[in-house]
Structure 1
Amino acid sequence: MPKANVPVLKTPVPKKKGGRKIKIILMLLFISLLCVLFFRSSLSKISVITFEGNEYITSGELLLASGVEVGSPFFAVSSDHVAQRLEEIPAVQQATVNKTFPGNVNVLIEEYPIAAYQLTADGTLQGLLANGTKVELKNGSMPVDKPILTGWEADEVTLAKLCLTLSQIPSELTADISEIVPSPTLSYPDRIKMYTRSGFEIISAVSLLAKKAGYMNEILQVQDPGRLTMLDADSYVPYESLENGTDRENDTTHE
């Protein structure tokens, strides 16, 4: 019986991978070229920088302090770092930086609020922020909602503490105070005198003002104009008693 012919099995020839590698290399080169073109284009640069909420610091000053400018790399700018730089400006309480692609940077500025005003040597009016920072007023109008501080030294530490306190007490009280002058004594180095638009003279201390503010406001609402002392002991004497020399008989004292 004749033998059947068995076909010889061919050894599989491995597929060539050279074509696939070339495709991957070409793709990577293409992607790299796109990246180079993108980062050289205007799309990767900051095109617009806007500031909102700033009243006392100009946008030019903010831009200079931010360290960022139009044309800077958009993705290389850190929002947190820019905010930190801006918050180093004395008048800036908080800065929030928002980046929007392509190329837009918006900065929201929150400044310290005005606490009082101060007359300069040449008679112009400056604003004093809650942290004691002096700012120029744009409109130049005479304010009526905050007290004017007179007789204070420019570098006085108590002045900064007073501004912070004024920013924390009720606005209806600060709106009634027209003037605050320093009146230190040995017992109270931070003693002050305040004059109100409702006709009161108030003697207190910067360190006690926040604590006494609520009761002080009550007295101003219900009593006739007079001298109000609010230190460790509180007393109220109407001007009529002072004029008659009977203040000791008619005063009201609260320990």
Structure 2
Amino acid sequence: MDKIIDIEDRIPTLRERRKKRTNRKFTLLLVIFLFTLLGLLYFQSPYSHVQSIVVKGANLATGDEYIERTGIQEGQSMWEIRTSNAEEILLKNDWLQDVTVKRTGLTSVTIEVTEWKKAAYIQSEGGFDLVLENGTVYHSTQKMAPVDAPVLNSFENPKALNRMVKELAKLKGEVLSMISQIESVPSKSDPYRIRLFMNDGFEIRAVIPSFAEKMNYYPSIIAQIGESEKGVIDIEVGSFFQTYVDMYNPQPKEEEEVEETSE
């Protein structure tokens, strides 16, 4: 015969199960309530708002200028910030190579910018503007003649300017620091002819396409010529040197004396 279980014997067990189930529901609701309360307190507290903005890598523009361009402000909600939008806004500036905007910590935002490096200067009405490695001309407030990079003159052809900048980027640092000015002197047959004035007193004549390849040998060329006489070094085709005296003040040939014959 099947064993008969009295319902009264099962009542305590059912009550215990019901009590545990009720406790679990209550605990779950309490946890949800606490998390909701903490969330509300967090969003109302200063810890959910931007308290500091750090800019790294700013040289051309100031940190404040970069912050202003992104539109991010102190006191703004950390969760209102769209980092990808801020990056896109900054990358519209031609002088920037790369940008990263990220939340750092609970209340900080970091803006990291990689600016194109300076290749040269170009003279403008107000002073000297920067020419960057990507060919961008960055308007500067510099008034004095620069000494940390060459000055480009008469580069009216944008294509020639861009190619010149690319060649400058290939130069060794020691050679680049020896150049004072580079002047564009195009001809009908060659729009890429240039003339350089060096800090050591020499003048160089070259063409842009082969400029960096040949100009990197400049220290060894000078060592062979010596420092006693300055002059013009032509590296357009080969390598030819002529002193300033011979080039700009050629000495006239001595005329042969002719004796007059008497009749």
User: What band does the TM-score fall into relative to the shorter chain?
Assistant: 0.7 to 0.9
**1:184 Cα offset (Å):** 1.5
The correspondence for 1:64, drawn from 61, 68, 72, is 68
Aligned position for 1:184 = 186
SS at match of 2:10: coil
User: How many correspondences in the alignment?
Assistant: 239
Q: Partners of 2:23 and 2:148 in 1: how far apart?
A: 80
Tell me the TM-score normalised to structure 1 length. Answer: 0.79
The correspondence for 2:239, drawn from 213, 234, 242, is 234
Corresponding position: 1:42 with 2:46 = yes
**1:8 Cα offset (Å):** 5.0
Aligned position for 1:11 = 10
Q: Partners of 1:184 and 1:229 in 2: how far apart?
A: 15
Q: Percent identity?
A: 23
Aligned position for 2:151 = 148
| Structure 1 residue runs without a partner (length 5+) | 1-5, 247-255
Aligned position for 2:198 = 196
Letter in 2 for 1:230: I
CA RMSD of aligned residues (A): 2.9
Q: Partners of 1:176 and 1:134 in 2: how far apart?
A: 22
Q: Partners of 1:177 and 1:7 in 2: how far apart?
A: 106
Moved more, 74-83 or 34-43: 74-83
| Structure 2 residue runs without a partner (length 5+) | 253-263
SS at match of 1:11: helix
Q: Does the 8 Å contact 1:183/1:193 carry over to 2?
A: yes
Letter in 2 for 1:134: V
Letter in 2 for 1:160: N
Q: Does the 8 Å contact 1:145/1:176 carry over to 2?
A: no
Q: Which has the larger radius of gyration?
A: 2
Moved more, 91-100 or 20-29: 91-100
Q: Does the 8 Å contact 1:169/1:210 carry over to 2?
A: yes
Summarize the alignment of residues 1-255 of structure 1 with structure 2, pairs less than 5 Å apart.
10-12=9-11, 13-14=13-14, 15-16=17-18, 17-75=21-79, 77=81, 79=83, 82-122=86-126, 124-138=127-141, 140-153=143-156, 156-223=158-225, 224-242=229-247, 243-244=249-250
Q: Partners of 1:190 and 1:94 in 2: how far apart?
A: 31
